[in-house]
Structure 1
Amino acid sequence: MSERTGAAGVRNAPGVPEIPWGTLPPEVIDPIRPYVDDVAHEMIDWIRQRIPEYSRPLGSNYGQKMWGAIRQAVSDFLVVVSSPDASWEPLRQIYAEIGAYEARKGRSLESLQTAMRLCGQVAARRFTTDAARLDWPHETLGRLIEALFVFLDAISEAATRGYASVHDRPGSQREHLRARLHAMLTGDGLADRVAITQLARSTGWGTPSTIAVVAVRSLGDQAPPLLPPPVLADWHSQVPSLVVPDPDSPGHRDLLAALGGTPAAVGPTVDLSRGSVSLHWARRALELAEAGKIPGDGLVRCVDHLPTLVASVGLDLIEAAIPQRLGPLLELTPNQRRRLVSTLLTYLENGRNAAAAAQRLNVHTQTVRYRLSSLEELFSGELNDPGRHLELLLLLHSWQHLVEPHED
């Protein structure tokens, strides 16, 4: 189908109303361009206050996506309202994808449309203030407000079409509800248990007492595995994730067998309202496994790597403390340092038992005692201070598992 041309020369796709864009001169629009970020922030504040589904921290992954989308919408409007040659088609595709993304994430179309209306209210109020500040004629303000609401109608229609393209597929109603439940369980902050229970009932998903979230390496073009119905899956994110109900119960321990050898990490088991915590640590564990910091063959379980995961969060502090607290080791050759670090860490982990440490290291007990003697000499007897026991364990473990692999 061919495009048709709007009143001001703007090329519109079939089904899009005549849009009075490109009718305002640059001298009207240029003075308000520097305020794009301020307007976008005000819009986000209104949305987060009035739509619980979008009340996410701005620093979160979704918060950043929302900020980018709203800022882009404000910029797009200022372009098309002052550009007679603007084409609607690229914008239609952008906002159709936003609608499709919200549908895949299981969020409601009503919330998306409400967010767009709130943005329009903020923009109209700002334009009214700008009219007084910049001494615009009433006709100019009227044309700008008219263009604003036609623009909002157009992007809302595009988003609705994109949403419907996902939502109206065969069997997609149940998929939509399951996706929404997954998003609710893994969203930032504490999830609402009442809302979760109500939505779970509508999907036929038995409400569990606990959940664990699994982060899975992106499958690329590979088709996702067929998982048992109790597992809620999101394969569309950059880092796909799964929600496993009551993961420690005997009947649910094998729910992830279908993943085979696909690299994945299971977050800690948490209360139903704290899925975001499990997802956070699952993603962190997957990152460390893919970087070779923890064993990463197949399924990694966060609870098996607690010291490494906790230390990874404060790694900058640990790296800064190592020269001050373990400085004598830095004067050794890499091979000497690795042997002594491994020996001292194993010795401390085994309750300062040289025989047990030797057995774990697969060396003679006298070898361990000789190395410990060397360490005592290096540190002038400081290693026997009980107050440093936990600190030494943390620094040595972090050095061996997080810092040392970077060395040549």
Structure 2
Amino acid sequence: MAAQTVEAITDGVPAYAKAFSGPLGPQIEKAVRAALGTFLNLVSRPAGRGQGSPLAPALEAAYALGRGEARNGRSLDALLAAYRLGARVAWRELAAISVRGGQDSGTIAHFAEQVFAYIDELSAASVAGHADELATSNRARRRHLEHLAQVLLAGEPEHVVLAAAERAEWASPQTLTALLVPEPATRAVLELLDARTLQAAEAGPDETSVLLVPDAQGVSRAHLMRLLAGRGAIVGPSRPWLQVRESLARAVRTARFAPSAGGAVVDTEEHLVSLVVNADPQALADLREKALAPLAGERSATAEKLAETLRGWLLHHGRRDEVAAALFVHPQTVRYRMTRVRELYGDRLRDPQWLLLLTVALA
């Protein structure tokens, strides 16, 4: 019966044809014979016998089979199909023997029920083994991926990072882009991104997660922005993947002065001037104090209006009507204010270095 079962599985389940016909064939037939023997021992036991069950070794073997399928990267489809086919073949032979032996129909029906209950138990054990192996391997791989993200952002030597990537079985991209994502949105965002995206543990500011997205440069960046719409993410620049900590540093700096509002995506590439100007807050404060020193003698409200008008004059290259439109005032008001500014600044408004200083200070 074991030989017939193996032959039927070989013909009916192509995934096992090679294994069954090769050197493992005799071992597999032996295992099938053992499973059949276990079943016959189980149903032959007298009622009320002790609690030790001959089923345990068979369940352990089925559990190990499920784990082995998972380790080899296969689903359980072929194994469960083999169980079902094997049960049909075995039952056909067992039924024939039972009929020849003169068993009544009630006994044969009960016997059939036990056959398929046994196969169900073996199948359930294999399913459990498969699930446990996947869970174990997935947990291990997640730990390796988290470690890879950690060494990347810590700036570890290249050989350390490459070893971590190899352990995690992670195919390195050309670039990585750091994202800051609100923690409640992290899972949903991950489902939208490249499967190679790394998640760094405890690397972002409060209540944000850090994700490292592969190859989101060029036209892919625009696609990434569309995917993140409404998620409140802050997107750093793309960098060669070994230099991704630079991308994260820029995203963190941007978050300090341009946090996401209403779920809008913040692109750090649109804040380059502000990033430069705010790189040293104390230097910026000193620069503004120097640039606005000529206005110090004016009343506070007047000085503020003059500074605002000077900023408009710089940004619009002295075009009075455009300055007036930007400030929502009459062009004559702009003329009056700029006359006063020229009185206070004198020749400095014709000095390129002073114009640069004023532009940065008032940006």
Q: TM-score, normalised by structure 1?
A: 0.47
Q: Aligned equivalents of 2:170 and 2:331: distance in 1?
A: 56
- The yes-or-no answer on 1:176 pairing with 2:139 is no
Query: CA separation of 1:326/1:216 partners in 2, compared to 1, >3 Å: closer, same or farther?
Result: same
Partner of 2:278, secondary structure, is: helix
Corresponding residue to 2:294 among 324, 328, 333: 328
Q: Aligned equivalents of 1:343 and 1:197: distance in 2?
A: 55
Partner of 1:253, secondary structure, is: helix
Q: Counterpart in 2 of 1:394? A: 360
Contact 1:323 1:330 in 2 (8 A): no
What residue ranges of structure 2 are gaps of 5+ in the alignment? 1-134
CA displacement 1:344-377 (0-9 Å, x = unmatched): 2232223343344344444444433332222112
Q: Counterpart in 1 of 2:99? A: none
Question: Structure 2 matches for 1:363-382, cutoff 5 A?
Answer: 363-382=329-348
Query: CA separation of 1:226/1:268 partners in 2, compared to 1, >3 Å: closer, same or farther?
Result: closer
Give the count of matched residue pairs.
224
Partner of 1:313, secondary structure, is: coil
Query: CA separation of 1:324/1:282 partners in 2, compared to 1, >3 Å: closer, same or farther?
Result: same
CA displacement 1:244-282 (0-9 Å, x = unmatched): 222223345334656554443222222222212111111
Q: Counterpart in 2 of 1:383? A: 349
Q: Counterpart in 2 of 1:284? A: 253
- The yes-or-no answer on 1:354 pairing with 2:320 is yes
Partner of 1:316, secondary structure, is: helix
Q: Aligned equivalents of 1:251 and 1:306: distance in 2?
A: 20
Question: Structure 2 matches for 1:119-268, cutoff 5 A?
Answer: 171-188=138-155, 192=158, 196=161, 199-200=164-165, 203=168, 205-217=170-182, 219=184, 224-227=187-190, 228=193, 229-234=195-200, 236-237=202-203, 239=205, 240-251=209-220, 253-255=222-224, 259-268=228-237
CA displacement 1:117-145 (0-9 Å, x = unmatched): xxxxxxxxxxxxxxxxxxxxxxxxxxxxx
Which residue identity is paired with 2:142?
E
Q: Aligned equivalents of 2:224 and 2:319: distance in 1?
A: 41
**CA shift at 1:326, angstroms?**
1.4
Q: Aligned equivalents of 2:155 and 2:169: distance in 1?
A: 24
Contact 1:213 1:241 in 2 (8 A): yes
Q: Aligned equivalents of 2:138 and 2:211: distance in 1?
A: 20
Q: Aligned equivalents of 1:200 and 1:339: distance in 2?
A: 57
- The yes-or-no answer on 1:339 pairing with 2:305 is yes
Contact 2:294 2:345 in 1 (8 A): yes
Query: CA separation of 1:326/1:233 partners in 2, compared to 1, >3 Å: closer, same or farther?
Result: same
**CA shift at 1:382, angstroms?**
1.8
Larger relative helix fraction: 2
Which residue identity is paired with 2:179?
V
What is the aligned-residue identity percentage? 26
Q: Counterpart in 2 of 1:298? A: 264
Corresponding residue to 2:274 among 303, 308, 314: 308
Q: Aligned equivalents of 1:376 and 1:174: distance in 2?
A: 67
Contact 2:177 2:235 in 1 (8 A): yes
Partner of 1:283, secondary structure, is: helix
What residue ranges of structure 1 are gaps of 5+ in the alignment? 1-167, 398-408
Q: TM-score, normalised by structure 2?
A: 0.52
Contact 1:211 1:247 in 2 (8 A): yes
Which residue identity is paired with 2:289?
P
Contact 2:204 2:252 in 1 (8 A): no
Q: Aligned equivalents of 2:228 and 2:202: distance in 1?
A: 16
Q: Aligned equivalents of 2:223 and 2:234: distance in 1?
A: 15
CA displacement 1:72-103 (0-9 Å, x = unmatched): xxxxxxxxxxxxxxxxxxxxxxxxxxxxxxxx
Contact 1:267 1:281 in 2 (8 A): yes
Instruction: Compare CA radii of gyration and give the structure with the larger one.
Output: 2
